[in-house]
Chains A and B, each alone.
Chain A
């Protein structure tokens, strides 16, 4: 029982400490018990400074009237939950929320679909082609968002875009001066495509790494028993890769729910309200009109919504952690 205080900490530090369980002198034991905390302290301090304190400020700000007037004086006015009720009574908020949920769902679905297909392809490719494809994926992954979005938008440009040019040349239709962003649905599909394009490499490469861990004897045994490729994928690959899938899907949801740059750059920094996704809505209704309290409240609501959306996955992740 005397070991009890130090037991959890030794586990936390690592298995290397576990075998040394002989009774020691008391002073040494306390010293040993403190070491992990000392080692953790710098990390905790950094996290507190860059994460916890800003989060606290965000929460505090969301209960204040904080506009330009207050900004200049560095002092907000406490107004309780007014900011929250303003948001929840704003019909635009609900439209934007619905649009963002649909947008996120589609983006994540297509990212996972194409990412998985490319990963499966990578497993089956020969050395050279695999290298080529992987390099392509890494190039996409490493390209800065601003550059990538601008290039995409040039391709879809109204006046000089190569897409309009090609479609017209190929006699698909008359695409001279076709404005891809006039109908927000088409526009959001293009923006979604840019998001998916940028997200595929991470998913594909991670899944490829996972796929190489699927024991080949299992696959062989299954195919000897007459299972087709779809069956093998469903009953062997997916269950084995489930933890990876869960992590990738939840990360993708978090990323796609907060898409900002792609919309912002694609619409030249002035998206019309039909292009508002959650992050854009938060920015325009806070920074653009200097309502920082309101903006903080929107950010808090965004986090809460995201927690609800990803709850299932987080629960799943915790379960996986417990069973392993």
Chain B
């Protein structure tokens, strides 16, 4: 017995020593070599992987060729948790050298000093004189540039031309009333199938919902006398939300607690029991994808800008998009800038725009889409747009899902528009005024 105890103790001691030497040795021997191979770590969203991975690889190959001894490691992230992961990497001194952020996510990080100031490099970055104004603003804080505009996206209506025709609809709608009348015709013609939606609109689709609010002259929040105030309970916003509730309840059989990404609405559209969706330009391609979508729809798919309740105008679309920033913790800031110059160069931008169906980051490439019936409607829709309040804490409102929660409760019909809008506005006010 005593022997066994002693043996166990010796084993423990040996193990402890072994661990300490094992962890100590490689760290020391690795450091002299570190300078030889520099790795540039880049975090991009999965959209790049799915739609323009060719551009990413081309940029990295060119960069590695002109910078011997460096290699680029691209890690693809998902929208749902990339900020949480980024925060953890900041805390652990393990942040990437380049990171893609949604344009609504930028402000909080810029305000907190998370990104390197690249104002002085601006001139040397391709097309920086003709960058999209909306994107440039989203990457600018207190007059300094903290990010490179990456791409933009605008939403329009993607629809089934054959179904519209069969329902006796001529031309595309020029007002919200007309659109609603068209939806009625569709629902009448096909709605006997209990799974059919004339307009597929999941309950948590907040970006499309807020377009209604801005169309009616409402706003999510306003800034006055140094204070933010949630304004989804303004008469205009309530009017818009009430109208939207009617449309959703009458023409959508989408899940009222779901969102547009799970399941991907383009794939639901591809299944055939949907007349129209409010979607980004690139979702057209998702719907026709030969593995997950339905290429057979290629001849019966079209798009038009979402019409406003004011006849002849477009409903403002959310100007979405992404920026590329360099975390302040990066030890390879100049290399990161060089990689960004390759990646956002004119040729690769054109590639992303044509293959990936996004709006390019520069107005100099606007012509790429002019003659393309698949993208032109979205480029047109982008002429009327809205953007989230420019509050440093805005992303908290998104991350706490305040607007989504409100919409689910409104569409489910269990709560009144006015009471839910009031509650959400109070929460938004509290969140935007929170000391950072």
Among A65-73, A141-149, A205-213, A231-239, the stretch in contact with B:
A65-73
* Residue pair A35, B255 in contact (C-beta under 8 Å): no
Given A39-B8, A177-B194, A177-B195, A68-B399 contact (CB < 8 Å): no
Q: Which residue of B lies closest to A273 (CB)?
A: B405
Given A68-B114, A177-B195, A182-B412, A269-B258 contact (CB < 8 Å): no
Among A219-227, A283-291, A299-307, the stretch in contact with B:
A283-291
Interfacial residues of chain B within 1-57, with CB under 8 A of chain A in the complex = 1-2, 5, 8-9, 12-13, 15-16
* Residue pair B255, A69 in contact (C-beta under 8 Å): no
* Residue pair B263, A159 in contact (C-beta under 8 Å): yes
* Residue pair A284, B256 in contact (C-beta under 8 Å): no
Given A176-B194, A268-B262, A159-B436 contact (CB < 8 Å): no
Bound form: Cα–Cα A75–B211 in Å: 40
Contact with B along A264-306 (1 / 0, CB 8 A): 0000111011100000000011011110000000000000000
* Residue pair A272, B12 in contact (C-beta under 8 Å): no
Bound form: Cα–Cα A271–B315 in Å: 29
Bound form: Cα–Cα A101–B81 in Å: 28
* Residue pair B256, A179 in contact (C-beta under 8 Å): yes
* Chain A positions within 8 Å of B12 at CB level: 39, 42
* Residue pair A272, B90 in contact (C-beta under 8 Å): no
* Residue pair B194, A68 in contact (C-beta under 8 Å): no
Given A179-B255, A268-B262, A72-B112 contact (CB < 8 Å): yes
Q: Which residue of A lies closest to B407 (CB)?
A: A272
Query: How far in angstroms is the closest Cβ of chain B from A99?
Result: 15
* Chain A positions within 8 Å of B84 at CB level: 287-288
* Chain B positions within 8 Å of A181 at CB level: 257
* Chain A positions within 8 Å of B431 at CB level: 289
* Residue pair A68, B436 in contact (C-beta under 8 Å): yes
Q: How many residues of B contact A (CB 8 A)?
A: 47
Contact with B along A49-74 (1 / 0, CB 8 A): 00000000000000001011101111
* Residue pair A159, B91 in contact (C-beta under 8 Å): no
Given A67-B112, A69-B113, A177-B195, A270-B412 contact (CB < 8 Å): no
- Selected from A42, A176, A182, A285, the residue in CB contact (under 8 A) with B257 is A182
Interface status of B108 (Cβ within 8 A of chain A):
yes
Given A68-B108, A69-B436, A72-B113, A158-B258 contact (CB < 8 Å): yes
* Chain B positions within 8 Å of A288 at CB level: 84, 396, 399-400
Interface status of B401 (Cβ within 8 A of chain A):
yes
Interface status of B368 (Cβ within 8 A of chain A):
no
* Residue pair B195, A176 in contact (C-beta under 8 Å): yes
Interface centre among A16, A73, A289 (most CB of B within 10 A): A289
* Residue pair B436, A16 in contact (C-beta under 8 Å): no
Bound form: Cα–Cα A281–B152 in Å: 33
Contact with B along A120-147 (1 / 0, CB 8 A): 0000000000000000000000000000
Given A35-B9, A68-B87, A68-B109, A272-B405 contact (CB < 8 Å): yes
Interface status of A172 (Cβ within 8 A of chain B):
no
* Chain B positions within 8 Å of A159 at CB level: 195, 255, 263, 268
Bound form: Cα–Cα A182–B249 in Å: 14
Interface status of B381 (Cβ within 8 A of chain A):
no
* Residue pair A289, B399 in contact (C-beta under 8 Å): yes
* Chain B positions within 8 Å of A284 at CB level: 399-401
- Selected from B1, B81, B253, B268, the residue in CB contact (under 8 A) with A269 is B81
Interface status of A38 (Cβ within 8 A of chain B):
yes
* Chain A positions within 8 Å of B399 at CB level: 284, 288-289
Bound form: Cα–Cα A272–B258 in Å: 10
Interface status of B335 (Cβ within 8 A of chain A):
no
* Chain B positions within 8 Å of A65 at CB level: 435
* Chain A positions within 8 Å of B256 at CB level: 179, 182
Contact with A along B260-294 (1 / 0, CB 8 A): 00110000100000000000000000000000000
Interface status of B404 (Cβ within 8 A of chain A):
yes
Interfacial residues of chain B within 103-120, with CB under 8 A of chain A in the complex = 108-109, 111-114
* Chain A positions within 8 Å of B87 at CB level: 68, 71, 287, 290
* Residue pair A72, B253 in contact (C-beta under 8 Å): no
Query: How far in angstroms is the closest Cβ of chain B from A98?
Result: 19
Bound form: Cα–Cα A69–B1 in Å: 57
* Chain A positions within 8 Å of B409 at CB level: 272
Bound form: Cα–Cα A42–B20 in Å: 13
Query: How far in angstroms is the closest Cβ of chain A from B142?
Result: 15
* Residue pair A38, B404 in contact (C-beta under 8 Å): no
* Residue pair B5, A270 in contact (C-beta under 8 Å): no
* Chain A positions within 8 Å of B255 at CB level: 158-159, 177, 179
- Selected from A268, A269, A289, the residue in CB contact (under 8 A) with B396 is A289
- Selected from A42, A72, A269, the residue in CB contact (under 8 A) with B114 is A72
Bound form: Cα–Cα A71–B92 in Å: 10
* Chain A positions within 8 Å of B262 at CB level: 268
* Residue pair A72, B401 in contact (C-beta under 8 Å): no
Bound form: Cα–Cα A71–B114 in Å: 9
Interface status of B204 (Cβ within 8 A of chain A):
yes
* Chain B positions within 8 Å of A182 at CB level: 256-257, 412
Bound form: Cα–Cα A38–B408 in Å: 60
Query: How far in angstroms is the closest Cβ of chain B from A280?
Result: 11
Bound form: Cα–Cα A59–B262 in Å: 38
Interface status of B259 (Cβ within 8 A of chain A):
yes
| Beyond A16-B2, A73-B113, A272-B405, 18 extra complex contacts between A and B, CB < 8 Å | A39-B5, A39-B12, A42-B12, A68-B114, A71-B112, A74-B91, A159-B263, A159-B268, A176-B194, A177-B253, A179-B255, A182-B256, A270-B259, A272-B257, A272-B401, A284-B399, A289-B400, A290-B396
Interface set of B (CB-CB < 8 Å, partner A):
1-2, 5, 8-9, 12-13, 15-16, 80-81, 84, 87, 90-91, 108-109, 111-114, 194-195, 204, 253, 255-259, 262-263, 268, 328-329, 396, 399-401, 404-405, 408-409, 412, 431, 435-436
Interface set of A (CB-CB < 8 Å, partner B):
13, 16, 35, 38-39, 42, 65, 67-69, 71-74, 158-159, 176-177, 179, 181-182, 268-270, 272-274, 284-285, 287-290
**What are 19 of the A-B contact pairs (CB < 8 Å)?**
A35-B9, A38-B9, A39-B5, A42-B12, A42-B15, A42-B16, A68-B109, A71-B91, A72-B329, A74-B91, A158-B258, A176-B194, A177-B194, A177-B255, A179-B257, A268-B258, A284-B401, A287-B87, A288-B399
Give 6 closest A-B pairs by Cβ, nearest first: A68-B112, A288-B399, A289-B396, A158-B255, A69-B112, A176-B194
